[in-house]
Amino acid sequence: MIIGTGIDIVEISRVKNACRKWKDKFLKRIFTEKEIEYSRQKPFSFQHLAARFAAKEAVLKAFGDGFSKRVEWTEIEVWNEKSGRPIVKLYGHLKQLKDDRGIKDIIISLSHARNYAVASAILIAEG
C-alpha cells in the first residue's frame, strides 16, 4: 500500500556553488561518503550530487512530517544497484520513523539534465 509520495527539483548550479563556497563542510553535512564517492567518479559530478539532494528532499516530503523532526541529511543515503537503479537507505531518527510506520520499501527514481536534477520517492507499507 502506498502511504506517501514526494518529489523535488534542484538547480544543479546551486549545489555547485554551495560546494565551491563551503567545500567539505557542505559536502559532509549533506552527503554520505558513499554518495560523494559515487558522484566523484562520474564526469558531471554535480548532477549526481544534485539528484541525491533532490532524493533526500523527496523522501522527507513522502514522510510528510519529516521536516518537523530533527533529521540529519546524512540519515538518507542513496545507493545504486549494479544495474544503476537507485535505492535508499535510512539511518537514525528516520529509520526509526520508517519502522514505526511499518514502511517496508521506499522506491526512488532520479533524473538529471544540464541544469536540473529531479527525484521522486514512494513509501510502501504493509497491507
Ligand X SMILES: CC(C)(COP(=O)(O)OP(=O)(O)OC[C@H]1O[C@@H](n2cnc3c(N)ncnc32)[C@H](O)[C@@H]1OP(=O)(O)O)[C@@H](O)C(=O)NCCC(=O)NCCS
Residues in contact with ligand X by CB under 6 A are 48, 51, 80, 83-86, 110-112
The CA-CA-CA angle for residues 120, 121, 124, to 5°, reads 150
CA–CA dist 86, 52 (Å, integer)? 10
Q: Are 119 and 113 in contact (CB under 8 A)?
A: no
| Least distance between ligand X and beta carbon 80 (Å) | 5
Taking the least distance from each CB to ligand X, the nearer of 48 and 98 is 48
| Least distance between ligand X and beta carbon 82 (Å) | 8
Q: Are 64 and 58 in contact (CB under 8 A)?
A: no
Taking the least distance from each CB to ligand X, the nearer of 43 and 84 is 84
Taking the least distance from each CB to ligand X, the nearer of 12 and 60 is 12
